[in-house]
Chain A
Amino acid sequence: MTPRLASALVNGLLIGLTAVTLFPLLWMLSVSFMPAGAASTLPPPLFPETPTLANYRELFVRAGMVRWLMNSLLLAAAVTLCSLAFNTMAGYAFAKLKFAGRERLFRTLIGALVIPGQVAMMPLFLLLKQMGLVNTYGGVIVPAMAGIFGIYLVRQYARTIPDELLEAARVDGAGEFRIFLSVVVPLLRPVLASLAVFTFLACWNDFMWPLIVLTDEDLQTLPVALASLSREHVQDNEMMMAGSVVTVLPVLVLFLALQKHYIQGLLLGSVKG
């Protein structure tokens, strides 16, 4: 094969693959601007003939999309902030502070990573019910305030902090918490950014647990509300595409803006250590 032909082949395949990958998302966007019924014709229209915002208006004014958008934002932001604080403290301690039983404790946590969350779901529901947290924001936030994967991610990164730096601060008389805030956190900034994007996206996209614990329509997140909308409005393709745009666009934009951090976190988390 000549180099020119090989190059055409590689790039042609890449273009084809990318087209197939992006097509569903681009078409979702296009159909969301079509008037009701326009997408249920043959041949399937690629572009809206008379673009309209009617579907979005319908969703936001009549269906209560604002509420669900706010719920999703609030829950994802709260979970991200809380778990970032708790996981960072714990991950740093597991990496740099010595205490009896540290390694055994950490190994236990890592071992527990293999347990799928569903095993805990039924008892967790009963526990939250006892605490009065079922059907409240707390039902989603409280169990997610810390996570083993987050602790692991921070620990991996924190191990690269030189001990001399911490010792020097201790000799200067700084307390452990002072050292954490003014020396450690600034050094951990890259992994904190990764963890923040990861957590936010995971929480935003989560479906099964919010479906179980938030049954009140006013408390539902976008994915849960979208799922029940799509069961009611089986024929309203245009409106459902608009709903999908509202659900997907925020995370897609966030990912594009913070892509570097997301990919770094993904790679850090997937390297065995």
Chain B
Amino acid sequence: MRLPAAAWAFVAPALLVVGVFFLLPVVAGLGLSLTDFDIYALAAFSNLRFVGFENYVRMLQTPLFWQALANTLYFVVVGVPLSIGASLGAALLLHSRLARFKPFFRTALFAPVVTTLVAVAVIWRYLFHTRYGVVNYALDQIGVDPVDWLGDPHWAMPTIILLAIWKNFGYNMVIFLASLQAIPEDLYEAARIDGASWFRQTVHITLPLLGPTLLMVGILTTAGYFQLFAEPYVMTQGGPLRSTVSVLYFMYEEGFKWWNFGAASAVAILLFGLIFAVTWLLIHLSKREVNP
């Protein structure tokens, strides 16, 4: 077999799968968002009509969409910095020369990452149970009144954010740890000779050198957090008072509960646009930061 022919034979199966079951549906999703595809069209494609941007216009006039967007932004804006902060803190602790039993601590702190989100959400629901949960019990011990964590619209999203931090911080921790280990030791050596404290070394050496990693971790975490779905599905079903309906939860109900595939596709594409814009913004801002 000649080389190019062989090469195509090697890439063909994977390209076929990715093309037919991902790229093609993505393009079709764009098209679908411009139609009124609903349960009648699901029965017979002849009921399908082209409606232009009507789905998008209608979405932007739907209060629940805006609420879902606001809830998702709340989750992202509060959750991402706290998650990255937790990851960085844990990584700095693990990287410290003073830390003992590093492999054990690293494995234990990473464990939540590989657990199943649904199972963890079930555990979380029990831990934060209003009457019998251990969290309220602990609060009671220090004299704080019980909080209706998942039943109070003000507390439901913070509880989900706590779950997300616990579940995810290990992932970025490992990435930060690898970057920390790549920083040359003599930089710290020189700083120590100059009498710089640990705090100053961290601010002036560690954090600047972590810059590119921080940007990458920030982008990936933000994109991931925008796709909030399983936590509200299991823990709150979007409640209370729709305070935990995320954009994807809204899309799921619109698409697979009411079978409005046209509207659901429009929601998915709006979400994609938002993630893309935020990513672009992060890259742009970080460039300005480096060369003002």
Q: Which residues on A are within 8 Å of B, measured CB to CB?
A: 3, 6-7, 10-11, 13-14, 17-18, 20-22, 24-25, 27-28, 31, 39-44, 85-87, 89-90, 92-94, 97-100, 102, 105, 109, 112, 114-127, 142-143, 145-148, 151, 175-177, 180, 201, 204-205, 207-208, 211-212, 222-224, 226-227, 230-231, 237, 240-241, 243-244, 247-248, 251-252, 255-256, 259, 262-263, 266-267, 270, 272
Contact = CB atoms under 8 A, between A and B. Distances in A.
Contacts of B66: none
B85 interface: no
Interface string B231-272: 001100100000000001001100110000100110011011
B90 to A, nearest CB: 6
Interface of B: 1, 3-4, 6-11, 13-18, 20-26, 28-30, 32, 37, 42, 90, 93-94, 96, 98-100, 105, 107-112, 114-120, 122-127, 129, 131-134, 137, 166, 170-171, 174-175, 178, 198, 216, 220, 223, 226-227, 229-230, 233-234, 237, 248, 251-252, 255-256, 261, 264-265, 268-269, 271-272, 275-276, 279
Given A86-B14, A143-B22, A14 B132 contact: no
Contacts of A40: 131-132
A17 B93 contact: yes
A21 B198 CA distance: 26
A266 B175 CA distance: 8
A112 B22 contact: yes
Nearest to A222: B116
Nearest to B106: A263
A89 B119 contact: no
Given A17-B93, A17-B109, A201 B268 contact: no
A27 B272 CA distance: 38
Interface of B is mostly: helix
Contact of A262 (B114, B117, B251): B114
Nearest to A24: B123
Nearest to A100: B4
A27 B127 contact: yes
Contact of B126 (A85, A122, A241): A241
A140 B69 CA distance: 29
